[in-house]
C-alpha cells in the first residue's frame, strides 16, 4: 500500500476560489471584506509570512491594510492602532503577527483585539466559544486540518484520533474541535505529549494521527496502523548539503517510510502549510458576512 497524498496546495487553491466568489458577492452588496495586518519588527520569517498573506488577500478580492511598525514601537502605540481598527467599519479582521518584541505583552495585545475581528481565533472569548461548541472564529491551522481531512474523504465520526502535541495553537484546539457534536467532529481523541508513557502504543490504535510535536521522526512507520490517515503539522530544518540553503524542510513524521503503510498522508512542505493562510481569509470573509447579515 502507498498512501494517498493529501495535497494541501490543491485543496487551498480550491478553497480560495470559493472565498474569492464569496468576497465578490459581499463586495457587490457594499461590504468588501477587509483585513488589517500588523507586523512589529524585522523578523524575516514573519515578514515573508505577512507578504504571503497580503498577496493572498489581493488575489481573493479582500481589502488589506498593511501596517509595518519598527521594533521599538511601544506597547501603547500598538494598542492604540488595534483600537483604531476595532472601530474601523472597513476592517473585519485584525491580525497581529507573532512573535512580538520582548517589551510588548503578547497576552495584552491579543486581549485588545475585538473578538468579532479576531480572525486568528486566539482571543479567549473565541477559544471559550469553541470549547463549548458555540459559533466562533476557529484557529486557522487546526481548522485547515479539519478541511484537509473532510475534503479528502477521511471519516471523522467515530474515528480514533491521536494528537501528538498540546500547543495552544494546534494540539489543544484540534482536540477540542474533533470531539464536538458536529459534522466535522464526533471523534474519540487522545492527546499525547512529552510526558506521555508508551506514546507508540497510543498511536498504533489511531485511525487518524495529527503530529504537531516539533521534532523530526517523532512518528515512525512501526508506530502507525495500516491504512491510517497521517496529518503532519511539523516544519523542521535538517542539514542537507545537496540543497543550496544547506538544509531541507521535513515534518514530524518519517514520510518516506510511513507513506508505505498509511492510507492518507500530508507532505511537508505542501500539506498543512498552505491551509493556514487560506483559513485566515475564510475567517475574514465570514466576519464580513456577519456584518452584511446584521445590516
Q: So which residues are the catalytic ones?
A: 53, 97, 120
Q: With contact defined as beta carbons under 8 Å apart, do 229 and 206 qualify?
A: no
C-alpha cell at 91: 476592517
Sheet holding 63-69, edge to edge: 63-69, 34-40, 93-96
Task: Give the position of cell 505583552.
Answer: 105
From the annotation, which residues make up the binding site for NADP(+)? 165-167, 235
Q: With contact defined as beta carbons under 8 Å apart, do 11 and 267 qualify?
A: no
From the annotation, which residues make up the binding site? 165-167, 235
Alpha carbons 219 and 258: distance in angstroms, whole number: 8
Q: How far is CA 107 from CA 22, 124, 280, 290, in A?
A: 32, 10, 20, 26
Amino acid at each position: 500500500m502507498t498512501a494517498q497524498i493529501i495535497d494541501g496546495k490543491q485543496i487551498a487553491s480550491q478553497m480560495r476560489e470559493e472565498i474569492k466568489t464569496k468576497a465578490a458577492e459581499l463586495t457587490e452588496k457594499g461590504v468588501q471584506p477587509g483585513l488589517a495586518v500588523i507586523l512589529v519588527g524585522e523578523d524575516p520569517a514573519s515578514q515573508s509570512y505577512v507578504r504571503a498573506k497580503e498577496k493572498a488577500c489581493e488575489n481573493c478580492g479582500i481589502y488589506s491594510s498593511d501596517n509595518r511598525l519598527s521594533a521599538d514601537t511601544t506597547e501603547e502605540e500598538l494598542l492604540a492602532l488595534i483600537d483604531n481598527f476595532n472601530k474601523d467599519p472597513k476592517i473585519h479582521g485584525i491580525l497581529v503577527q507573532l512573535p512580538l518584541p520582548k517589551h510588548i505583552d503578547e497576552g495584552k495585545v491579543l486581549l485588545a483585539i475585538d473578538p468579532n475581528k479576531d480572525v486568528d481565533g486566539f482571543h479567549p472569548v473565541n477559544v471559550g466559544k469553541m470549547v463549548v461548541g458555540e459559533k466562533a472564529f476557529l484557529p486557522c491551522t487546526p481548522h485547515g486540518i479539519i478541511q484537509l481531512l473532510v475534503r479528502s474523504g477521511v471519516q471523522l465520526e467515530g474515528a480514533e484520533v491521536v494528537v501528538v502535541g498540546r500547543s495552544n495553537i494546534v494540539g489543544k484546539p484540534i482536540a477540542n474541535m474533533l470531539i464536538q457534536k458536529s459534522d466535522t467532529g464526533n471523534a474519540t481523541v487522545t492527546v499525547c505529549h512529552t510526558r506521555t508513557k508508551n506514546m507508540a502504543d497510543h498511536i498504533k490504535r489511531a485511525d487518524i494521527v495529527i503530529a504537531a510535536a516539533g521534532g523530526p521522526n517523532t512518528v515512525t512507520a512501526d508506530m502507525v496502523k495500516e491504512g491510517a490517515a497521517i496529518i503532519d503539522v511539523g516544519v523542521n530544518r535538517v542539514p542537507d548539503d545537496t540543497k543550496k540553503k544547506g538544509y531541507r524542510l521535513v515534518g514530524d513524521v518519517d514520510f518516506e517510510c510511513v507513506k508505505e503503510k498509511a492510507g492518507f498522508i500530508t507532505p511537508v512542505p505542501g500539506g498543512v502549510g498552505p491551509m493556514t493562510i487560506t483559513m485566515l481569509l475564510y475567517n475574514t470573509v465570514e466576519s464580513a458576512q456577519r456584518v452584511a447579515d446584521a445590516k
